[in-house]
Amino acid sequence: MAQQKKILRALAGETLPTPPIWMMRQAGRYLPEYRATRAEAGDFLSLCYNSDLAAEVTLQPIRRYGFDAAILFADILLLPEALGVDLWFVTGEGPRMSTTTTTTELAALKPADAIHDHLAPVYETVRILSRELPSETTLIGFAGAPWTVATYMIAGRGTPDQAPAHLLKSESRDVFTGIIDRLTDATIEYLSAQVSAGAEVIKIFDSWAGSLQGQDFDDFSLAPMQRITSALKSRHPGIPVIAFPRGAGTRYIGAHAATGADCIALDDGVSPEWAAENVQPSGCVQGNLKSSHMVTGGDDLVCETRRIVDAFSKGPHIFNLGHGITPDADPENVQLMIDTIRNS
Protein backbone atom coordinates (compact mmCIF):
# COMPACT_ATOMS: atom_id res chain seq x y z
CA MET A 1 0.00 0.00 0.00
CA ALA A 2 2.84 2.40 0.82
CA GLN A 3 3.98 2.44 -2.79
CA GLN A 4 0.47 3.39 -3.89
CA LYS A 5 0.26 6.46 -1.67
CA LYS A 6 0.11 9.48 -3.92
CA ILE A 7 2.48 11.68 -1.97
CA LEU A 8 5.12 8.96 -1.83
CA ARG A 9 4.78 8.50 -5.58
CA ALA A 10 5.27 12.23 -6.18
CA LEU A 11 8.25 12.31 -3.82
CA ALA A 12 9.76 9.44 -5.77
CA GLY A 13 9.62 11.61 -8.90
CA GLU A 14 6.38 10.48 -10.51
CA THR A 15 4.28 13.01 -12.40
CA LEU A 16 0.66 12.35 -11.43
CA PRO A 17 -2.43 13.44 -13.38
CA THR A 18 -3.86 14.99 -10.20
CA PRO A 19 -1.38 16.26 -7.61
CA PRO A 20 -1.67 15.01 -4.04
CA ILE A 21 -2.83 17.64 -1.54
CA TRP A 22 -2.17 18.63 2.05
CA MET A 23 -1.86 21.98 3.84
CA MET A 24 0.62 23.40 6.28
CA ARG A 25 -1.15 23.93 9.64
CA GLN A 26 -4.10 21.94 8.34
CA ALA A 27 -4.85 20.93 11.94
CA GLY A 28 -5.46 24.29 13.49
CA ARG A 29 -7.55 27.18 14.69
CA TYR A 30 -9.58 27.65 11.52
CA LEU A 31 -11.45 24.42 12.36
CA PRO A 32 -14.14 24.48 15.06
CA GLU A 33 -13.35 20.88 16.02
CA TYR A 34 -9.74 21.86 16.69
CA ARG A 35 -10.80 24.72 18.94
CA ALA A 36 -13.02 22.36 20.91
CA THR A 37 -10.21 19.85 21.40
CA ARG A 38 -7.74 22.56 22.41
CA ALA A 39 -10.24 23.79 25.01
CA GLU A 40 -10.43 20.23 26.32
CA ALA A 41 -6.64 20.11 26.60
CA GLY A 42 -6.55 23.38 28.52
CA ASP A 43 -3.66 25.11 26.75
CA PHE A 44 -1.48 24.73 23.67
CA LEU A 45 1.48 22.93 25.25
CA SER A 46 -0.82 20.53 27.07
CA LEU A 47 -2.38 19.70 23.71
CA CYS A 48 1.04 19.06 22.16
CA TYR A 49 2.03 16.68 24.96
CA ASN A 50 -1.30 14.83 25.21
CA SER A 51 -0.76 12.05 22.69
CA ASP A 52 -4.42 11.11 22.34
CA LEU A 53 -5.59 14.70 21.80
CA ALA A 54 -2.65 15.58 19.52
CA ALA A 55 -3.53 12.56 17.40
CA GLU A 56 -7.18 13.62 17.39
CA VAL A 57 -6.46 17.10 16.02
CA THR A 58 -4.12 15.59 13.43
CA LEU A 59 -6.93 13.31 12.27
CA GLN A 60 -9.64 16.01 12.17
CA PRO A 61 -8.73 17.55 8.79
CA ILE A 62 -8.28 14.07 7.32
CA ARG A 63 -11.83 13.15 8.32
CA ARG A 64 -13.22 16.46 7.07
CA TYR A 65 -11.33 16.82 3.79
CA GLY A 66 -9.59 13.57 2.90
CA PHE A 67 -6.16 15.14 2.45
CA ASP A 68 -3.51 12.84 1.00
CA ALA A 69 -1.26 13.39 4.02
CA ALA A 70 -1.52 14.13 7.72
CA ILE A 71 1.25 16.07 9.43
CA LEU A 72 2.00 15.36 13.06
CA PHE A 73 0.52 17.99 15.39
CA ALA A 74 3.34 19.41 17.48
CA ASP A 75 5.40 22.61 17.65
CA ILE A 76 8.93 23.39 16.49
CA LEU A 77 9.81 24.72 19.97
CA LEU A 78 9.26 21.40 21.75
CA LEU A 79 12.80 20.45 20.73
CA PRO A 80 14.59 23.33 22.50
CA GLU A 81 12.38 22.69 25.52
CA ALA A 82 13.63 19.10 25.47
CA LEU A 83 17.17 20.51 25.45
CA GLY A 84 16.41 22.32 28.72
CA VAL A 85 15.10 25.72 27.58
CA ASP A 86 12.11 27.09 29.49
CA LEU A 87 9.10 27.48 27.18
CA TRP A 88 5.68 29.01 27.71
CA PHE A 89 3.00 30.64 25.59
CA VAL A 90 1.38 34.02 26.20
CA THR A 91 -2.23 34.21 25.00
CA GLY A 92 -2.48 36.43 21.96
CA GLU A 93 1.26 36.96 21.78
CA GLY A 94 2.83 33.57 21.10
CA PRO A 95 5.83 31.71 22.52
CA ARG A 96 8.26 32.91 25.14
CA MET A 97 11.53 31.17 26.02
CA SER A 98 14.49 31.54 28.30
CA THR A 99 17.29 32.85 26.09
CA THR A 100 20.46 31.09 24.97
CA THR A 101 23.06 33.73 24.14
CA THR A 102 26.16 32.97 26.22
CA THR A 103 28.79 30.26 26.51
CA THR A 104 27.36 29.31 29.91
CA GLU A 105 23.80 29.01 28.59
CA LEU A 106 24.99 26.97 25.62
CA ALA A 107 26.92 24.63 27.91
CA ALA A 108 23.79 24.15 30.04
CA LEU A 109 21.84 22.65 27.13
CA LYS A 110 21.32 18.90 27.33
CA PRO A 111 23.17 16.58 24.94
CA ALA A 112 21.38 15.85 21.67
CA ASP A 113 20.62 12.26 22.63
CA ALA A 114 19.06 13.25 25.98
CA ILE A 115 15.86 14.62 24.45
CA HIS A 116 13.86 11.44 24.07
CA ASP A 117 12.24 11.10 27.50
CA HIS A 118 10.85 14.63 27.23
CA LEU A 119 9.59 14.02 23.69
CA ALA A 120 8.16 10.55 24.33
CA PRO A 121 4.55 11.86 24.07
CA VAL A 122 5.30 13.12 20.54
CA TYR A 123 6.58 9.72 19.48
CA GLU A 124 3.47 8.13 20.97
CA THR A 125 1.32 10.50 18.91
CA VAL A 126 3.13 9.25 15.80
CA ARG A 127 2.48 5.64 16.78
CA ILE A 128 -1.24 6.34 17.31
CA LEU A 129 -1.50 8.05 13.94
CA SER A 130 0.38 5.26 12.22
CA ARG A 131 -2.35 2.89 13.44
CA GLU A 132 -5.38 5.11 12.94
CA LEU A 133 -4.83 6.99 9.69
CA PRO A 134 -6.59 5.68 6.59
CA SER A 135 -4.39 3.28 4.66
CA GLU A 136 -4.09 5.71 1.72
CA THR A 137 -2.97 8.67 3.88
CA THR A 138 0.73 9.45 4.29
CA LEU A 139 2.02 10.43 7.73
CA ILE A 140 4.47 13.35 7.77
CA GLY A 141 6.77 14.03 10.71
CA PHE A 142 8.55 17.35 11.04
CA ALA A 143 10.88 19.69 12.87
CA GLY A 144 11.99 23.26 12.58
CA ALA A 145 15.32 23.82 10.88
CA PRO A 146 18.20 24.79 13.19
CA TRP A 147 18.37 28.42 12.03
CA THR A 148 14.67 29.06 12.57
CA VAL A 149 14.60 27.37 15.98
CA ALA A 150 17.79 29.23 16.98
CA THR A 151 16.16 32.59 16.25
CA TYR A 152 13.58 31.88 18.96
CA MET A 153 16.14 30.52 21.42
CA ILE A 154 18.34 33.59 21.04
CA ALA A 155 15.58 36.21 21.19
CA GLY A 156 13.36 34.39 23.66
CA ARG A 157 10.42 34.97 21.34
CA GLY A 158 9.48 35.45 17.72
CA THR A 159 10.84 38.63 16.11
CA PRO A 160 9.95 40.41 12.86
CA ASP A 161 13.47 40.40 11.44
CA GLN A 162 15.43 37.86 13.54
CA ALA A 163 17.73 40.73 14.55
CA PRO A 164 18.89 39.21 17.88
CA ALA A 165 20.06 36.05 16.10
CA HIS A 166 21.86 38.05 13.41
CA LEU A 167 23.54 40.13 16.12
CA LEU A 168 24.74 37.06 18.01
CA LYS A 169 25.95 35.57 14.73
CA SER A 170 28.16 38.62 14.14
CA GLU A 171 29.30 39.31 17.72
CA SER A 172 29.58 35.83 19.30
CA ARG A 173 30.14 33.49 16.40
CA ASP A 174 31.29 30.57 18.54
CA VAL A 175 28.14 30.65 20.66
CA PHE A 176 25.93 31.03 17.61
CA THR A 177 27.52 28.14 15.70
CA GLY A 178 27.41 26.06 18.87
CA ILE A 179 23.64 26.57 19.06
CA ILE A 180 23.23 25.64 15.40
CA ASP A 181 25.36 22.51 15.85
CA ARG A 182 23.51 21.37 18.99
CA LEU A 183 20.16 21.90 17.28
CA THR A 184 21.32 20.04 14.17
CA ASP A 185 22.41 17.03 16.20
CA ALA A 186 19.23 17.07 18.30
CA THR A 187 17.02 17.44 15.23
CA ILE A 188 18.58 14.34 13.71
CA GLU A 189 17.76 12.40 16.89
CA TYR A 190 14.22 13.81 17.07
CA LEU A 191 13.31 13.13 13.46
CA SER A 192 14.93 9.70 13.46
CA ALA A 193 12.75 8.77 16.43
CA GLN A 194 9.68 10.02 14.55
CA VAL A 195 10.56 7.76 11.62
CA SER A 196 11.09 4.80 13.95
CA ALA A 197 7.64 5.50 15.42
CA GLY A 198 5.97 5.44 12.00
CA ALA A 199 6.48 8.72 10.13
CA GLU A 200 6.68 8.02 6.39
CA VAL A 201 7.97 11.43 5.25
CA ILE A 202 9.93 14.14 7.07
CA LYS A 203 9.56 17.87 6.52
CA ILE A 204 12.10 20.44 7.73
CA PHE A 205 10.68 23.93 8.15
CA ASP A 206 13.18 26.79 7.81
CA SER A 207 10.57 29.51 8.14
CA TRP A 208 13.12 32.33 8.51
CA ALA A 209 15.64 31.17 5.91
CA GLY A 210 14.91 34.25 3.81
CA SER A 211 16.56 36.57 6.33
CA LEU A 212 19.93 34.92 5.76
CA GLN A 213 22.06 36.38 3.00
CA GLY A 214 25.00 35.17 0.92
CA GLN A 215 27.28 32.61 2.54
CA ASP A 216 25.21 32.67 5.73
CA PHE A 217 22.28 31.20 3.76
CA ASP A 218 24.52 28.33 2.66
CA ASP A 219 26.13 27.81 6.06
CA PHE A 220 23.16 28.18 8.38
CA SER A 221 20.10 27.20 6.32
CA LEU A 222 21.14 24.79 3.58
CA ALA A 223 24.07 23.06 5.27
CA PRO A 224 22.26 22.06 8.50
CA MET A 225 19.30 20.75 6.48
CA GLN A 226 21.75 18.75 4.38
CA ARG A 227 23.35 17.27 7.50
CA ILE A 228 19.95 16.31 8.87
CA THR A 229 18.75 14.83 5.59
CA SER A 230 21.95 12.86 5.06
CA ALA A 231 21.84 11.41 8.56
CA LEU A 232 18.17 10.45 8.28
CA LYS A 233 18.69 8.73 4.94
CA SER A 234 21.68 6.88 6.35
CA ARG A 235 19.68 5.64 9.35
CA HIS A 236 16.43 5.10 7.44
CA PRO A 237 17.20 4.29 3.80
CA GLY A 238 14.48 5.48 1.47
CA ILE A 239 12.86 7.98 3.84
CA PRO A 240 11.70 10.97 1.76
CA VAL A 241 12.49 14.48 3.00
CA ILE A 242 10.81 17.79 2.15
CA ALA A 243 12.87 20.93 2.80
CA PHE A 244 11.27 24.38 3.11
CA PRO A 245 13.79 27.25 2.98
CA ARG A 246 11.01 29.84 3.07
CA GLY A 247 11.86 33.16 1.47
CA ALA A 248 14.76 31.73 -0.52
CA GLY A 249 13.75 33.52 -3.74
CA THR A 250 16.21 32.70 -6.51
CA ARG A 251 18.14 30.53 -4.04
CA TYR A 252 15.44 27.90 -4.49
CA ILE A 253 17.44 27.04 -7.61
CA GLY A 254 19.76 24.19 -6.65
CA ALA A 255 18.09 23.61 -3.28
CA HIS A 256 17.38 19.95 -4.01
CA ALA A 257 21.08 19.24 -4.42
CA ALA A 258 22.19 21.56 -1.63
CA THR A 259 19.88 20.00 0.98
CA GLY A 260 19.67 16.45 -0.35
CA ALA A 261 15.89 16.68 -0.04
CA ASP A 262 13.53 14.80 -2.33
CA CYS A 263 11.18 17.79 -2.51
CA ILE A 264 11.51 21.54 -2.10
CA ALA A 265 8.51 23.35 -0.66
CA LEU A 266 7.94 26.80 -2.17
CA ASP A 267 6.52 29.92 -0.59
CA ASP A 268 4.22 32.23 -2.56
CA GLY A 269 6.98 34.75 -3.21
CA VAL A 270 7.92 32.93 -6.40
CA SER A 271 5.57 32.30 -9.30
CA PRO A 272 4.65 28.72 -10.15
CA GLU A 273 5.74 29.28 -13.74
CA TRP A 274 9.21 30.42 -12.64
CA ALA A 275 9.53 27.52 -10.20
CA ALA A 276 8.38 25.00 -12.80
CA GLU A 277 11.16 26.19 -15.09
CA ASN A 278 13.92 26.66 -12.54
CA VAL A 279 13.27 24.36 -9.56
CA GLN A 280 11.01 21.48 -10.62
CA PRO A 281 13.50 19.99 -13.13
CA SER A 282 15.62 19.00 -10.11
CA GLY A 283 12.83 17.06 -8.40
CA CYS A 284 9.46 17.24 -6.72
CA VAL A 285 8.17 20.64 -5.65
CA GLN A 286 5.45 21.49 -3.15
CA GLY A 287 3.22 24.56 -3.07
CA ASN A 288 2.42 27.32 -3.44
CA LEU A 289 -1.05 28.92 -3.15
CA LYS A 290 -1.22 32.13 -1.10
CA SER A 291 -2.79 31.46 2.28
CA SER A 292 -4.97 34.54 1.87
CA HIS A 293 -7.05 32.68 -0.72
CA MET A 294 -8.31 30.47 2.11
CA VAL A 295 -9.82 33.62 3.61
CA THR A 296 -11.19 35.34 0.51
CA GLY A 297 -12.21 32.31 -1.59
CA GLY A 298 -14.29 32.86 -4.73
CA ASP A 299 -13.20 32.91 -8.33
CA ASP A 300 -9.70 34.13 -7.47
CA LEU A 301 -9.12 31.00 -5.40
CA VAL A 302 -10.34 28.76 -8.21
CA CYS A 303 -8.31 30.53 -10.90
CA GLU A 304 -5.09 30.62 -8.89
CA THR A 305 -5.45 26.98 -7.86
CA ARG A 306 -5.88 25.95 -11.50
CA ARG A 307 -2.92 28.12 -12.50
CA ILE A 308 -0.63 26.36 -10.02
CA VAL A 309 -1.81 22.89 -10.99
CA ASP A 310 -1.29 23.70 -14.66
CA ALA A 311 2.14 25.27 -14.14
CA PHE A 312 3.48 22.21 -12.33
CA SER A 313 1.64 19.60 -14.41
CA LYS A 314 4.72 18.44 -16.31
CA GLY A 315 6.64 17.21 -13.28
CA PRO A 316 6.26 15.82 -9.76
CA HIS A 317 4.18 18.18 -7.62
CA ILE A 318 2.46 18.17 -4.23
CA PHE A 319 -0.21 20.86 -3.92
CA ASN A 320 0.05 22.98 -0.78
CA LEU A 321 -0.07 26.56 0.39
CA GLY A 322 2.93 28.86 0.32
CA HIS A 323 2.74 29.05 4.12
CA GLY A 324 0.42 27.83 6.85
CA ILE A 325 -3.33 28.35 6.73
CA THR A 326 -4.38 31.23 8.98
CA PRO A 327 -6.93 31.13 11.83
CA ASP A 328 -9.33 33.42 9.93
CA ALA A 329 -9.60 31.02 6.98
CA ASP A 330 -13.03 29.74 5.95
CA PRO A 331 -13.19 25.91 6.06
CA GLU A 332 -15.47 26.04 3.00
CA ASN A 333 -12.67 27.61 0.98
CA VAL A 334 -10.45 24.66 1.79
CA GLN A 335 -13.08 22.36 0.32
CA LEU A 336 -13.35 24.60 -2.74
CA MET A 337 -9.60 24.33 -3.29
CA ILE A 338 -9.67 20.55 -3.01
CA ASP A 339 -12.67 20.23 -5.34
CA THR A 340 -10.98 22.50 -7.88
CA ILE A 341 -7.88 20.30 -7.92
CA ARG A 342 -9.58 16.93 -7.94
CA ASN A 343 -12.44 17.74 -10.31
CA SER A 344 -10.61 19.77 -12.95
29 in catalytic set: yes
One of 9, 64, 75, 219 is an active-site residue; which one? 75
One of 38, 96, 157, 307 is an active-site residue; which one? 38
Rounded CA gap, 313 and 296, in Å?
25
Rounded CA gap, 113 and 86, in Å?
18
Enumerate the H helices of 66-115 as residue ranges: 78-82, 103-108
Residue partners of 343: CB distance under 8 A and separation at least 6: none
The count of C-alpha atoms lying within 13 angstroms of the C-alpha of 342, restricted to the half-sphere facing its C-beta, is 14
One of 34, 49, 65, 152 is an active-site residue; which one? 152
One of 9, 29, 127, 235 is an active-site residue; which one? 29
Total residues found in the chain within this entry: 344
38 in catalytic set: yes
CA angle 259, 265, 271 (to 5 degrees): 120
Collapsing DSSP to helix, strand or coil, 103 comes out as helix
Other Cβ atoms less than 10 A from the Cβ of 83: the count is 22
25 in catalytic set: yes
65 in catalytic set: no
Contact assessment for residue 177 and residue 115, using Cβ atoms and an 8 Å cutoff: no
Question: Which is nearest to 26 in space by CA: 323, 336, 339, 341?
Answer: 323
Q: How far is CA 37 from the centre of its chain?
A: 22
- The catalytic residues are 25, 29, 38, 75, 152
